Structure 1
Amino acid sequence: MNIKRKNLRIIPMLLLGLFYSCAPTVKVTNDYDHSANFSEYKTFAVYDLKAQEGQVNQLNVDRITKAIRAELISKGFTEATNNPDLKVNAVSILKNKTSVSSNTDFYGYGGMYRPYGYWGGGAMMGGANTTYNTYDYVDGSLIIDIVSTKTQKLVWQGIGNAEIDSKPDNPEEFIANSIKKILAGFPPGLAKK
């Protein structure tokens, strides 16, 4: 007997993939230029966040921008429109994926082990039942790039990734918490003091 389950949720306006679940586990990684002197950076500007068709709607672009600003200001940085030390950009990547799993239960007759020996012949297969499950989801990533305006080089990058399957109950809160988690390692050396 085969059972096939599909959970397809195609939504016309996909939110940013990372922010499309009630409580996904956001996996975070970051990397940075070890030769950069992060203590010399005091100001920032958020730039080039655009609503990409089918990727991020304008409401979420605004939420992301607001969350990035709030998090950097809470870390002691100042937003500057003219000549900031850092430029901050966020990019989303959404990929539709399908996870397939199977479970086979075998049953039948085989020999028996007794303390004084093995009784019975080889196993005779009585039958098998395999269940297949498919699960469609969106693999969503949010990449935050921080670039030095002096050198025009990337000095820090944080990536948050989550398996997305439904819209969050409170997208503003979820986005803010996800941005906070992604930026926890910026600037390097600040976290876990």
Structure 2
Amino acid sequence: MKALFSAFAVALLAGCASTPDVTTDHDPSADFSRYRTYYWAQEPNTTNPLAQQRIVAGVDRRLAARGMTRQEGSGDIALVANVATSEQQTLDTMYTGGAYGGWGWGPGWGYGGMGSSTTRVRTYTVGTLVLDMFDASTKRAIWRGTASGTVSDSPEKNQAAVEAALDKMLSAFPPGSVAKPQ
């Protein structure tokens, strides 16, 4: 089961219908108009080759839609992707009982019974995908995108979450561009 989580951790995300948390950053001095080609210096490190292929294909599709061409082994931009997972926990506490009665003597009067609480621990996996871009000639970082979310037991939900994360992550790439519909 952990292998499934690790594989889709990259997937990062939401078994529920929530959108992954995505952030991007870039070097404001980088001239993105001069970058036309890219290559994968490091593909995502997942234990599931299908997840890895889907992430690479998703990034490739989005960069091609922005006029960039993938080359093998060299290009203007070197891409590096990393995936990580971590176990998280939440505590859900439910309270019952503890009703207070009226004041006085006799049946039905007086202090009510003791309340009780039940706490449940919910463990879930959070996956994070980090996509870095480096200027291949200077080796300087020029762009970073990070997506993070809850990993589902469902490969279909994880794939949908990856697609949503990549859409959001690369929607304004290159920096300063207007988002283009997919």
Q: Give TM class, smaller chain.
A: 0.7 to 0.9
Q: Report the Cα offset of residue 40 of structure 1.
A: 1.2
Q: Report the Cα offset of residue 80 of structure 1.
A: 2.1
Residue 108 of structure 1 aligns with an amino acid whose one-letter code is Y
Asked whether the equivalents of residues 25 and 163 of structure 1 are also in contact (C-alpha less than 8 Å), the reply is no
Is the alpha carbon distance of 1:50 and 1:99 closer, same or farther for their aligned partners in structure 2, counting shifts above 3 Å? same
Residue 101 (structure 2) aligns with: 109
Matches of 1:110 and 1:32 in 2, distance apart?
Answer: 65
Structure showing the higher strand proportion among its residues: 1
Asked whether the equivalents of residues 14 and 20 of structure 2 are also in contact (C-alpha less than 8 Å), the reply is no
Q: Report the Cα offset of residue 169 of structure 1.
A: 2.4
Residue 133 (structure 2) aligns with: 146
Asked whether the equivalents of residues 22 and 165 of structure 2 are also in contact (C-alpha less than 8 Å), the reply is no
Q: What does the per-residue CA deviation read over 1:102-152, in whole Å, with 9 as the maximum and x for residues that have no partner?
A: 1334422367xxxxxxxxxxx946321212122111011101101111210
Asked whether the equivalents of residues 8 and 151 of structure 2 are also in contact (C-alpha less than 8 Å), the reply is no
Residue 150 of structure 1 aligns with an amino acid whose one-letter code is S
1:160 to 147, 156, 167: 147
Asked whether the equivalents of residues 16 and 94 of structure 1 are also in contact (C-alpha less than 8 Å), the reply is no
TM-score between both structures, scaled by the size of structure 2: 0.80
TM-score between both structures, scaled by the size of structure 1: 0.76
2:32 is equivalent to residue 45 of structure 1? no
Q: Tell me the C-alpha RMSD between the 2 structures.
A: 2.5
Q: Report the Cα offset of residue 174 of structure 1.
A: 4.3
For residue 67 of structure 2, give the secondary structure of its aligned residue in structure 1: coil
Residue 21 of structure 2 aligns with an amino acid whose one-letter code is K
Q: Structure 2: state its 5+ residue gaps.
A: 104-109
Residue 77 (structure 2) aligns with: 86
Asked whether the equivalents of residues 39 and 77 of structure 2 are also in contact (C-alpha less than 8 Å), the reply is yes
Q: What does the per-residue CA deviation read over 1:129-187, in whole Å, with 9 as the maximum and x for residues that have no partner?
A: 21212211101110110111121011100111101232232655543333222212321
Over the matched positions of the two proteins, sequence identity in percent amounts to: 23
Matches of 2:102 and 2:79 in 1, distance apart?
Answer: 65
Q: Report the Cα offset of residue 25 of structure 1.
A: 2.3
Asked whether the equivalents of residues 51 and 58 of structure 1 are also in contact (C-alpha less than 8 Å), the reply is no
| Runs of 4+ in structure 1 over 6 Å off | none
Q: Report matched runs for 1:65-80 at 5 Å.
A: 65-80=56-71
Is the alpha carbon distance of 1:151 and 1:88 closer, same or farther for their aligned partners in structure 2, counting shifts above 3 Å? same
Q: What does the per-residue CA deviation read over 1:49-104, in whole Å, with 9 as the maximum and x for residues that have no partner?
A: 1544xxx3111111111111111000111112354110112111100122112133
Structure showing the higher helix proportion among its residues: 2
User: How many residues align structurally?
Assistant: 170
Matches of 1:125 and 1:183 in 2, distance apart?
Answer: 59
Residue 38 of structure 1 aligns with an amino acid whose one-letter code is F
1:183 to 163, 170, 180: 170
2:124 is equivalent to residue 137 of structure 1? yes
Residue 4 (structure 1) aligns with: none
Is the alpha carbon distance of 1:107 and 1:90 closer, same or farther for their aligned partners in structure 2, counting shifts above 3 Å? same
